[in-house]
C-alpha cells in the first residue's frame, strides 16, 4: 500500500535519489558507532590515496573507507564499487586483510575495479593471510594445536565472524595472488617486507605473528599497467 502511494506521488528520479540516500544511511542505523558518523569525503582531493577495509585503523594521508562506521572511517562505502571515486583518480590503494573476505568469483572483478580507479603507474598494496606461511608454521607447531582449548587458527583462516563483513571466503599464496593481479591489469607484482610498515608506526593485521613470533601475512605491491 505504502509502495503504491509513494509511487503515485514521486517521479522515478526522486525515488532513485531517495534509494541512494537511504543506502548511504543504512549502515549507520545498524551500527552503534553509526549515529555520530561524519562523512569526510569532501575533505579529500584527487589524486586520492585509499585505505580500503580500514576497520579501526586510521592511516594519516589516506581516505579510510569501510562498509561499517568506526572513528577511523572517513567514507562509508562498499569497496567493490566505490562510486564516488572517478576512474583514474587514485594514486595509491592499500587494503589489509580484506581481499579474503570476498568470494572466489568476486576477487577478479574487485581487482579490475581497483585497477580502473588507479592512475597508470599507481600502486596497489595488498596484505592477506598467507596460506603458505600458515601451513608451514602450523606444521612446525603441530603439537600446540593438539592441546585442548587451542583453536586450529579458526579466526585466521575463516575470519573473526563478528559482523557479516568479517567472514573469509577465499585464500591466497604469493603465486596465486600474483597470477590474479597480472591477469587483471597489474605489473611488477612483488612481495614487500612486513617491517617497517610502509606507513611508519602503523599497527594492523599485516603484522600479525601470534602466537609463534612468525609473520603470517603475505604483503604484495603491484603497479597499475
Ligand X SMILES: C[S@@+](CC[C@H](N)C(=O)[O-])C[C@H]1O[C@@H](n2cnc3c(N)ncnc32)[C@H](O)[C@@H]1O
Phi, psi of 20 (to 5 degrees): -65, -45
Q: How many residues of this chain bind ligand X (CB under 6 A)?
A: 17
Task: Determine which residue in the list 205, 214, 215, 223 makes contact with ligand X, applying CB under 6 A.
Answer: 205
- Does 216 engage in binding with ligand X (CB under 6 A)? no
Yes or no: say if 143 and 216 are a contact pair by the CB < 8 Å rule: no
Q: Please give the residues from 90 up to 109 whose contact with ligand X meets the rule CB under 6 A.
A: 96-98, 101
Binding-site string for ligand X from residue 107 to residue 136, where x marks contact by CB under 6 A and - marks none:
------------------------------
To ligand X, the closest distance from the beta carbon of 71 in angstroms equals 13
To ligand X, the closest distance from the beta carbon of 21 in angstroms equals 19
Using CA atoms, how far apart are residues 202 and 100, in angstroms rounded to an integer? Answer: 21
Shortest Cβ distance from residue 64 to ligand X (Å)?
9
Question: Using CB atoms, what's the residue nearest to ligand X?
Answer: 55
Choice from 27, 44, 50, 55 touching ligand X (CB under 6 A)? 55
Helix (H, G, I), strand (E, B) or coil at 196: coil
Identified binder of ligand X from the candidate list 118, 184, 204, 219, rule CB under 6 A: 204
Burial of 51 (C-beta count, 10 Å sphere; 0-12/13-18/19+): buried
| Whole-angstrom distance, CA of residue 195 vs CA of residue 187 | 23
Among 27, 48, 49, 53, binds ligand X (CB under 6 A): 53
Closest distance to ligand X from the beta carbon of 53 (Å): 3
The two beta strands, 118-129 and 217-224, are antiparallel
| Minimum distance of ligand X from residue 146's CB (angstroms) | 27
Buried b (16+ CB within 10 A) or exposed e, 89-113: bbbbbbbbbbbbbbeeeebeebbeb
Residue 190 three-state SS: strand
Nearer to ligand X, 67 or 199 (CB): 67
Whether residue 68 has a cis bond before it, omega within 30° of 0: no
Q: Which of residues 56-85 bind ligand X (CB under 6 A)?
A: 57, 66-68, 78-80
Binding site residues, ligand X, CB under 6 A? 53-55, 57, 66-68, 78-80, 96-98, 101, 165, 204-205
Amino acid at each position: 500500500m505504502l509502495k503504491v502511494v509513494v509511487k503515485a506521488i514521486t517521479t522515478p528520479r526522486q525515488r532513485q535519489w531517495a534509494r541512494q540516500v537511504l543506502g548511504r544511511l543504512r549502515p549507520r542505523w545498524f551500527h552503534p558507532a553509526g549515529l555520530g558518523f561524519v562523512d569526510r569525503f569532501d575533505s579529500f582531493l584527487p589524486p586520492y590515496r585509499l585505505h580500503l577495509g580500514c576497520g579501526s585503523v586510521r592511516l594519516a594521508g589516506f581516505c579510510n573507507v569501510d562498509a561499517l562506521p568506526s572513528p577511523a572511517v572517513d567514507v562509508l562505502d562498499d569497496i567493490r564499487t566505490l562510486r564516488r571515486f572517478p576512474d583514474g583518480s587514485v594514486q595509491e590503494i592499500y587494503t589489509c586483510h580484506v581481499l579474503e573476505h570476498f568470494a572466489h568469483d568476486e576477487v577478479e572483478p574487485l581487482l579490475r575495479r581497483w585497477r580502473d580507479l588507479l592512475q597508470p603507474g599507481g600502486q596497489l598494496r595488498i596484505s592477506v593471510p598467507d596460506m603458505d606461511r600458515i601451513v608451514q608454521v602450523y606444521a612446525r607447531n603441530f603439537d600446540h594445536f593438539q592441546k585442548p582449548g587451542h583453536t586450529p587458527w579458526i579466526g585466521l583462516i575463516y575470519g573473526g565472524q563478528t559482523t557479516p563483513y568479517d567472514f573469509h571466503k577465499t585464500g591466497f599464496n604469493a603465486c596465486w595472488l600474483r597470477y590474479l593481479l597480472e591477469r587483471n591489469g597489474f605489473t611488477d607484482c612483488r612481495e614487500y617486507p612486513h617491517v617497517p610498515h610502509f606507513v611508519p608506526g602503523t599497527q594492523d593485521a599485516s603484522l600479525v605473528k601470534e602466537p609463534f613470533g612468525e609473520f603470517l601475512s603475505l604483503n604484495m605491491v603491484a603497479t597499475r599497467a
